[in-house]
């Protein structure tokens, strides 16, 4: 049971599989299988070990367990979409939003832009964050589309 390997519930594992499938479709990885995931994890751990053995500075995690590496990849894929990397930009799949769309999102989610003392961040201060939230929604919808496709097979 792969979901146990990655410390996930079955629905969480299915979502992770959808994210991996989307990453493959977007060209971020070549293979979305669990075996390929483990191969990438082993390569990452070997790279870190090599850097340490060569006396190079290593920041962050020095060894990725299976669950930690899966979360690392899933986070990286989402960030590559939300803050579009070169590959995503080249594909043209990451949307841009009009001022009207971001303003409407800001107005619909005022609780997300409130400071500790109850005053709010202005729309201008929040625009980039709003666009990232909106891209996260698009990303999650793309993953859900993939999950629906696999369910309908």
Q: Over the stretch 42-52, which tens digit does the pLDDT of each residue have?
A: 999 999 999 99
Tell which residue, 28, 15, 35, 8, has the closest CA to residue 151. 15
pTM for this prediction: 0.88
149, 19, 13: which is closest to 73 by C-alpha? 19
DSSP 33: S
Mean pLDDT across 75-89 = 93
pLDDT mean over 57-77:
96
- Asked if residue 153 has pLDDT above 70, the reply is no
Residues whose CB is less than 8 angstroms from the CB of residue 152 and which lie 6 or more positions away in sequence, other chains included: none
How many CB atoms are closer than 10 A to CB 78? 18
Domain of residue 110: give its range.
2-151
Cross-strand partners of 120:
114
Q: What's the domain count of the chain?
A: 1
Residue 117 has pLDDT above 90, yes or no: no
């Amino acid at each position: 049971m792969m979901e146990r390997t990655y410390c996930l519930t079955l629905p969480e594992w299915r979502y992770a599989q959808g994210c991996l499938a989307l990453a493959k479709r977007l060209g971020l990885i070549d293979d979305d299988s669990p075996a390929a995931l483990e191969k990438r994890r082993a390569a990452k751990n070997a790279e870190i070990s090599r850097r340490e053995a060569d006396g190079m500075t290593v920041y962050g995690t020095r060894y990725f367990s299976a669950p930690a590496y899966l979360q690392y990849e899933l986070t990286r894929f989402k960030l590559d979409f939300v803050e579009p990397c070169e590959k995503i930009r080249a594909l043209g799949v990451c949307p841009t939003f009009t001022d009207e769309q971001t303003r409407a999102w800001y107005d619909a989610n005022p609780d997300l832009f409130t400071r500790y003392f109850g005053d709010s961040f202005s729309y201008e201060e929040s625009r980039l964050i709003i666009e990232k939230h909106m891209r996260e929604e698009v990303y999650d919808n793309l993953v859900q589309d993939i999950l629906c496709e696999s369910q309908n097979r």
